């Protein structure tokens, strides 16, 4: 079978493909695999109960059911949800949004595919622009999203040590360079894989750079503010016409509903809606209609702040305690300061084997994690050993399983050092 350049690129091996295949195969096989690799959210009882109530309400309303399954939404997305979201954000934050500033997509991954290829790639007359990632590591799902080759340029972070076994990445503004070849700047907040939260000051400096070069600042808030608020440090919700704010219902507890939200300048939303129509005809209604009452009432914010965030903070604290006790002081190891999201980013300086080899050893022992080398799109493959010394570990699932997995990781790392 012969494929086009597009077909070859998007059917080739990719980090996100490998991750999803591993997860799907492990779940389908029924093996006792400890699932610490993916970003599937935990099951928060209070959230599931509220969603069950709303689903029952929809099922009992014949008009709502007709809208849910029998009518295409416009390419911009479900209008009632958008209207309620605009009202909520204006009421809470005074952003001055209009419905024309919001579009829905079939998940955040689809949103980023469209946005990255709208602002990066070929511009004609031999001009090509890139997406600037001001701080690597970054989300695994970005890496292969570009139609054009070498779509991303990333910057190594500054590393500061915040405790005996804790460190934090910070934006190295001295190395961040926005040029005529930059199509957009993109940063996630909090960051998948590390849980790092770009500070308000760092975000403001990135916005100044974006505005001075007239490029969008894309902020991936899939785990962040104003919802689902998987944040363990302060971070101010922020939007204006320079910012493309991307949100999601997945981490609130609706990952299968595939509902991404893009808040941006009207011109960007109009273009995104056109791409949406070509790719999808329309976005799915399910997530938007299920969550709309929570948005209209503002309950989505209180659920995020008072239920979802404490749920993950408690899981994070338990996971850090277990891993710290299992590792002790027998080798060099660090955890990125866990400021948000649902991951521990583990760093083993001078590890005798690569993180990919460590991943394979752990998989053989029934623990699925993700090798850190996948999370550095836009940086040269060689030249920084750090990218091969890290693992991403999810702590969102059953606490006992997570604890067992973390102990196996510690055993395996210590065994590697003992063998070398």
pLDDT of 175 higher than 90:
yes
pLDDT of 13 higher than 70:
no
Instruction: Give whole-number Cα distances, 199 to 42, 235, 241, 371, 407, in Å.
Output: 26, 7, 20, 26, 32
Phi and psi at 136, nearest 5°, equal -95, 150
- Tell me what the mean pLDDT of segment 81-88 comes to: 98
pLDDT value of position 320: 98
pLDDT tens sequence across 277-287: 999 888 999 99
**Buried-state track 191-230, b at ≥16 Cβ within 10 A, e below 16:** bbbbbbbbbeebbebbbebbeeeebbbbbbbbbbbbbbbb
pLDDT of 143 higher than 90:
no
pLDDT tens sequence across 380-390: 877 799 999 99
pLDDT value of position 281: 87
Q: Give the list of residues 6+ apart from residue 232 with CB closer than 8 angstroms, or none.
A: 309, 313, 316, 338, 339, 340
- Tell me what the mean pLDDT of segment 106-129 comes to: 93
pLDDT tens sequence across 54-78: 999 999 989 888 888 888 889 999 9
- Tell me what the mean pLDDT of segment 114-120 comes to: 96
pLDDT value of position 22: 63
| Domains contained in the chain, CATH given | 5-45+303-419 (3.90.1150.10), 47-300 (3.40.640.10)
pLDDT of 393 higher than 90:
yes
Of 172, 351, 139, 356, the residue nearest 251 (C-alpha): 139
Our measurement of the distance from residue 361's CA atom to the centroid of its chain's CA atoms, rounded to an integer in Å, reads 26
- Tell me what the mean pLDDT of segment 159-169 comes to: 97
pLDDT value of position 2: 81
- Report the share of the chain in percent with pLDDT over 70: 95
pLDDT value of position 383: 78
Cα dihedral sign for 185, 349, 370, 396?
Answer: negative
Q: What is the CA radius of gyration of the chain?
A: 21
Average pLDDT over the chain, rounded to whole? 93
- Residue 154 in contact with residue 133, Cβ under 8 Å? yes
Q: In the structure encoding, which two tokens stand for residue 117, read together?
A: 């290829």
pLDDT value of position 16: 58
Our measurement of the distance from residue 44's CA atom to the centroid of its chain's CA atoms, rounded to an integer in Å, reads 19
pLDDT value of position 3: 82
pLDDT value of position 207: 98
pLDDT value of position 132: 98
Of 333, 329, 338, 340, the residue nearest 304 (C-alpha): 340
pLDDT value of position 106: 94
- Tell me what the mean pLDDT of segment 133-157 comes to: 93
Strands (E), 189-291: 217-220, 243-248, 260-263
Strand partners, 170: 158
Model confidence at 21, in pLDDT bands (50, 70, 90)?
low
Of 136, 131, 90, 95, the residue nearest 113 (C-alpha): 131
Helices and strands in the chain: count of H runs, count of E runs: 14, 16
pLDDT of 305 higher than 70:
yes
Q: Tell me which H or E stretch contains 320.
A: helix 309-327
């Amino acid at each position: 079978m012969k494929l086009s350049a597009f077909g070859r690129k998007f059917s080739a091996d990719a980090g996100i493909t490998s991750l999803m295949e591993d997860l799907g195969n492990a779940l389908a096989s029924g093996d006792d695999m400890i699932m610490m690799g993916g970003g599937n959210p935990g099951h928060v009882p209070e959230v599931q109960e509220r969603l069950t109530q709303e689903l029952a309400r929809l099922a009992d309303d014949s008009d709502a059911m007709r809208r849910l399954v029998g009518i295409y939404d416009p390419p911009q997305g479900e209008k009632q949800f958008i209207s309620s979201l605009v009202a909520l954000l204006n009421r809470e934050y005074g952003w001055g949004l209009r419905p024309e500033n919001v579009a829905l997509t079939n998940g955040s991954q689809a949103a980023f595919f469209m946005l990255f290829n709208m602002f990066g790639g070929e511009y004609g007359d031999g001009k090509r622009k890139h997406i600037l990632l001001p701080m690597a590591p970054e989300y695994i799902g970005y890496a292969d999203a570009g139609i054009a080759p070498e779509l991303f340029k990333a910057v190594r972070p500054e590393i500061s040590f915040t405790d005996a076994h804790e460190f934090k990445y910070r934006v190295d503004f001295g190395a961040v360079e926005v040029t005529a070849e930059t199509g957009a700047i993109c940063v996630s907040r909090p960051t998948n894989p590390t849980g790092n939260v770009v500070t308000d000051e760092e975000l403001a400096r990135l916005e100044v750079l974006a505005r001075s070069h007239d490029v969008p600042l894309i902020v991936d808030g899939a785990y962040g503010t104003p919802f689902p608020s998987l944040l363990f440090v302060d971070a101010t919700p922020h939007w204006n016409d320079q910012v493309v704010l991307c949100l999601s219902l997945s981490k609130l507890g609706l990952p299968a509903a595939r509902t991404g939200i893009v808040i941006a300048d009207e011109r960007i939303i109009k273009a995104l809606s056109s791409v949406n129509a070509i790719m999808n005809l329309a976005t799915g209604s399910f997530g938007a209609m299920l969550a709309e009452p929570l948005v209209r009432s503002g309950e989505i914010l209180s659920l995020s702040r008072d239920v979802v965030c404490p749920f993950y903070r408690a899981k994070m604290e338990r996971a850090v305690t277990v891993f710290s006790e299992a590792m002790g002081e027998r080798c060099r190891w660090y955890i990125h300061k866990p400021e948000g999201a649902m991951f521990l980013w583990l760093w083993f300086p001078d590890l005798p084997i690569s993180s990919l080899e460590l991943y394979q050893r752990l998989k053989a022992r029934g623990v699925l994690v993700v090798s850190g080398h996948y999370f550095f799109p836009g940086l040269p493959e060689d030249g920084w050993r750090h990218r091969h010394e890290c693992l991403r570990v999810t702590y969102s699932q059953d606490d006992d399983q997570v604890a067992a997995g973390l102990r196996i990781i510690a055993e395996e790392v210590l065994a590697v050092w003992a063998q070398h």
